[in-house]
């Protein structure tokens, strides 16, 4: 009987970068068919190294520093409603019957091993997004989706809150396709509202928040200055290559229609002198390649009045009219977006 994990444990398995194995559609079909909620499987899970690995993240997310491994809340998925009986040991979810996208990642058996009816799987990022839509508001869900589509891991158990990584867990297009293909299921309305608002390529929680702050329409709390790509790869001119010693570079928030770039400098990603020097060269290379830069620092982002003035300057540079955001919506967007991202 396979065990399929969702909720905070599945989220923790992603952010702690457990060795997860992509599975074929055939294996996913067999795993769902064998999915059960059994006392044997739950006992085996309680003793597993996975819960040890996700415990620090779980404590931080729940604000429970003394939480023990056997107290971690469990969410399990099964393939049909008739298997989703009430359980005191875990919250049970039934997979939407119309699900066609990637649904599972395998935790055990390890890579190279054959399918096992006693296998342990976690819900895919796409399925976790749908699960989260049942309990999160639209702002939190968009921020969670921006993490899934970004190049960082949310780590509230660490003092700086995140770690960099090379590859995103999923993409905006994948999440949009997933929610478009589903019929009636709980949380779908929120998921469909959130998916078009997602941004690929964010490299930190602050960039994930800056995307809606800049891009959402004023009635939703943003400045309506959309049309950017976050951390895209662009080719450099010969002069830029000589400075950066690379053929490509990545601007932060790049407006391709005007070749304008908002460069957000949190300082967190450039701790060492080598990284700081490299970033100076990157910006010089972008400017030599024709990109116009406008720097943005945390002292401005976290000050509403200063950020309003920054948005006025940006709108002028982009040749657009400045529209003040709706104040209650802006306050809520900034409160959640610039706060600690304690959601999953």
Is residue 260 a contact partner of residue 317, using CB atoms and an 8 Å limit?
yes
State the pTM of this model: 0.93
E strand intervals along the chain: 3-6, 21-22, 75-78, 91-94, 104-108, 120-123, 152-154, 162-164, 229-230, 234-235, 248-249, 253-255, 260-264, 292-296
pLDDT at 183: 84
Nearby residues of 23 by Cβ (< 8 Å), 6 or more positions away: 31, 104, 105, 106, 121
Cα–Cα distance between 309 and 317 in angstroms, integer? 13
Taking the domains of the chain in order of start, what are their residue ranges?
A: 1-123, 225-322
pLDDT at 222: 98
- Residue 211: cis peptide before it, omega within 30 degrees of 0: no
pLDDT at 84: 63
**pLDDT tens for the 344 residues of the chain, in order:** 899 999 999 999 999 999 999 999 899 999 999 998 877 778 778 778 899 999 999 999 999 999 999 899 999 999 887 776 656 778 888 888 777 678 899 998 988 888 888 899 999 999 999 999 999 999 999 999 999 999 999 999 998 889 999 999 999 999 999 999 888 888 999 999 999 999 999 999 999 999 999 999 999 999 999 999 999 999 999 999 999 999 999 999 999 999 999 999 876 544 677 888 889 999 999 999 999 999 999 999 999 999 999 999 999 999 999 999 999 999 999 999 999 999 99
Pairing of strands 162-164, 120-123: unpaired
Cα–Cα distance between 182 and 11 in angstroms, integer? 22
Cα–Cα distance between 337 and 263 in angstroms, integer? 18
Token pair belonging to 34? 């064998």
Is residue 253 a contact partner of residue 262, using CB atoms and an 8 Å limit?
yes
Burial of 49 (0-12, 13-18, 19+ CB in 10 A): exposed
């Amino acid at each position: 009987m396979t065990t399929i994990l969702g909720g905070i444990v599945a989220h923790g398995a992603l952010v702690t970068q457990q060795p997860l194995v992509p599975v074929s559609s055939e294996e996913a079909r067999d795993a769902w068919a064998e999915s059960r909620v059994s006392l044997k499987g739950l006992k085996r899970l309680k003793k597993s190294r996975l819960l040890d690995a996700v415990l620090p993240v779980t404590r931080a997310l729940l604000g429970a520093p003394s939480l023990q491994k056997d107290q971690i809340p469990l969410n399990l998925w099964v393939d049909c409603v008739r298997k989703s009986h009430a359980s005191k040991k875990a919250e049970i979810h039934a997979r939407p019957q119309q699900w066609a996208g990637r649904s599972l990642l395998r935790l055990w058996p390890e890579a190279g091993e054959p399918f096992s009816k006693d296998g342990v799987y976690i819900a895919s990022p796409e399925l976790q997004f749908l699960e989260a839509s049942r309990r999160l508001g639209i702002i939190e869900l968009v921020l969670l989706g921006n993490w899934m589509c970004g190049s960082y891991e949310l780590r509230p158990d660490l003092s700086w809150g995140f770690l960099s990584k090379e590859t995103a867990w999923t993409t905006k297009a994948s999440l949009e396709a997933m929610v478009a293909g589903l019929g009636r299921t709980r949380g779908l309305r929120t998921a469909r509202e959130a998916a078009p608002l997602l941004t690929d390529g964010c490299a930190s929680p602050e960039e994930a928040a800056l995307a809606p702050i800049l891009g959402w329409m004023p009635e939703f709390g943003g400045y309506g200055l959309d049309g950017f790509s976050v951390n895209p790869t662009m080719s450099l001119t010969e002069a830029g290559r000589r400075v950066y010693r690379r053929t490509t570079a990545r601007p932060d928030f790049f407006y391709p229609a005007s070749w304008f770039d908002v460069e957000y400098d949190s300082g967190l990603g450039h701790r060492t002198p080598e990284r700081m020097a490299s970033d100076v060269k990157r910006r010089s290379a972008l400017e030599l390649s024709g990109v116009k830069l406008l720097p943005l620092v945390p002292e401005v982002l976290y000050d509403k009045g200063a950020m309003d003035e920054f948005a006025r300057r940006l709108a002028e540079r982009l040749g657009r009219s400045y529209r003040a955001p709706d104040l209650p919506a802006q306050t809520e967007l900034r409160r959640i977006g610039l706060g600690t991202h304690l959601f999953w």
